Structure 1
Amino acid sequence: MEKGQEKKHAGGCGTISAPTGKGISLDAVSIRTIFRASPIGVFIVQGGRFQFANEEFQRTTGHTEDELIGRDASALVHPEDWEKVRKNAIKMLKGERNSPYQYRVIDKAGEIKWIVESVSSISYQNGPATLGYFMDITEREHANAALALSEEKFRKAFRSSPDWIVITTLEDGYYVDVNEAFNDTTGYRRNEVIGRTSVELGIWVDPGQRKEMVEILREQGRIRNLEAKFRMKSGEIRHVLWSAEAIEYGEEKCLIAVTRDITERKIAEEERLEKEKLRGILEIACTTSHELNQPLQYIYYLLEEILEKLPGEKAVEKLKQQCDRMRRVMSKLENITTYSLTDYVNGEKMINIGVSGSPER
């Protein structure tokens, strides 16, 4: 056959046409010597059938050399990948593609394996053939698939979480990403926060607390359930539990933070403490009133006797007025349901008896 004529021969993906006279000329002895112990799979296909397969190729496919020699090369390719493999091999053999291509094979046990392959034209035993290099990348593909699945799960969890989740730079607090719960609760739209800092937006009521948090993250790598106060866009202050972990995001040190709004819980807790405080005040008030009542009654008795003997005595009348005042105070103590505090000396507080028993002002 003259140079430039084409002759049909088999590639790694089936029967293709390629110019003769191109490629390397190899004989069977050279092939076995060079490629037998190669750490990657090596094969030769001629006339659409395997003519050589080294030990690594046999190990990957699960077939022995006797089972492979003379077998149709397309038999190992996953049916769904056949057309893609055929086209990629043709392009590579014609010099239209330089990079290896990936596809799936089915081994002897019926398991699917991912392969990366490159092919070139050679002359073998006085005829055109295809030399293929064949590497098993199944573990890498499984790892990539697991990583992609993990990333997809993270994206779904990030977007749908009822808690606020944000990613910010560790040092400066620039927002890299925020979820919908953050937008819904804070009142900020996503484009209002991305690229800006939490300090710039005034979200941390106490900016110093964020500095302390950064130091903890540097030392320990994580924080769990830090209680903080965050300021919403409206100016409202919300109580939160803040947890964060230092991560690498791209090439930058960042943190991913989960924030749980506990404002309603804090309000309920404050109301409970207020009730407990009121209960304590009521117990003290009732006890005090009871303890004062008997001595006061005796004082009234003595005053009445004195007034009978000294009617109109002004000093006794004034004393009786003070006892009446004490009785009114005791009556208020017995009927306290709410209380109000007023300033006392040295910064102390005291119960304002004059307004206690009415709603706090």
Structure 2
Amino acid sequence: MSQDVLTTETNRRHLQQIIAGLSDGVILLELDQTIIWANEAALSMHGVEQLGDLGANAQEYAKRFALRYRNNHPVVFDNYPISRVGRGETFSDVLVEVTRTDDEERTWVHNVRSRVLTNSRGDPESLVLIMDDVTEWASAEQRFERTFNANPAPAVICRLSDLRYIKVNAGFLEMTGYTRDQVIGASTYELDILEGAERRELAIERLREHATIPQMQAELTLPEGGSKQVIVAGQPLAFNEEDCMLFSFVDIEPRHKAEVALRQSEERFAKAFRLSPVPILVCGAADQVVMDVNEAFLDTFAYPSEEVLGKTVAEIGFFHDKGAQTRLFAALEKTARLDRIDVGLRKKTAELLDCAISADTVNIQDHPSYLLVMMDITERKRTELELVAAIEEVMKDASWFSRTLIEKLANVKSVNSPKLPSVSLAELTARERDVLGLICEGLADKEIAARLKLAPNTVRNHVSTIYSKLDVHSRSEAIVWARERGLFSGEWRTKGQR
């Protein structure tokens, strides 16, 4: 064996030992394009475990791995990096997608460069392919491309080295009427997107400094003549390893109209909210965290704002009955709105208030929220209860009531706020409905017993059960309960009218 051969084998062995542990993939070839060695990184980048899986030479490699450029065009065999280095070419930064022909689901993106190793006389001795796995970077770039192109907000990307546009999305083309060819490759001098900008000098200064350009109003010249008022902003970014500026735009006319309408609506709501003499609370629908309250709420319930804002309704604890609180929000979740629900609320001082709550579901910053309006009806309810108590005290027997008086009593009671859904007539037994109907006619227990052929004690037991189920405490309240629901309306007769 000649000295040159020994030297070559020794050099290759040393080279292989040096590069075996590199993160870059390395493939060595003979001058006849025979693949003679590859490190672990190169095998991994092709999804194989053994050198033979790459193929014996360039031709077999091409049969086992299909290559495409980043524009999705297939690479012909003569342009495969392994073929080019086999012809002695040196190149760098060739980006290709590599797919195994026996498993098309597995794809890598390689950044490939080549080296031609020479002997002491300068003659080619070995060929080297060096590759980086840039699959992750390429995927991120592809996601950016898709996001940029799909983004409905008009946008262009300008390369800062020469101030030429290298990317434009459909939103910009649709807004302005330009074609893609009219934008790509054009300079900022040919298509001045900062023309007429209200702070043009600041924008140009920031562009030179590769710094963020704040939002500002500008005027775009349109290709068919005329112009369009827009809001433009610039954000520096790196694209394809080059410093660029992403310009984004908003067509100012529809946005301006929407902002004016929204501002006016918010102003009207804010004024009504703040100036209302009735306590109002806004909380999140999902978590019931209090987002805002008006001055009337703080004054009425004697809470400082810091003990209310950011707390949940349960944490504040101003509902006297936790069960009523749970039922109210459950009903609100189901129906989206409630009207005048009687609820007992508690001030910070522990004083109880009778309130009628009306509530509705509103969207605040795209979050479903509840608007609760709480009217203090403590005095009114006390007056009504005193009136009913006085009537019951004077007239213990409902048979003494005239029809006119019963209806007036019903009218007095009907001004009370409706309660949360409670018992229905269907929950009474048939016999209990009969007894309730006769109570509504103004009959006493003895008369009901005679009419239904029941013992007086049995009638009294039915009356007691009816009171319990309807949550009432007297014959007059039972009559009003039925009257408010339109029950037995054709049977309202007093004792003297039968």
Pick the TM interval, shorter chain: 0.3 to 0.5
TM-score (norm 1): 0.47
Question: Which structure has more RCO (C-alpha within 8 Å, separation ≥ 6)?
Answer: 1
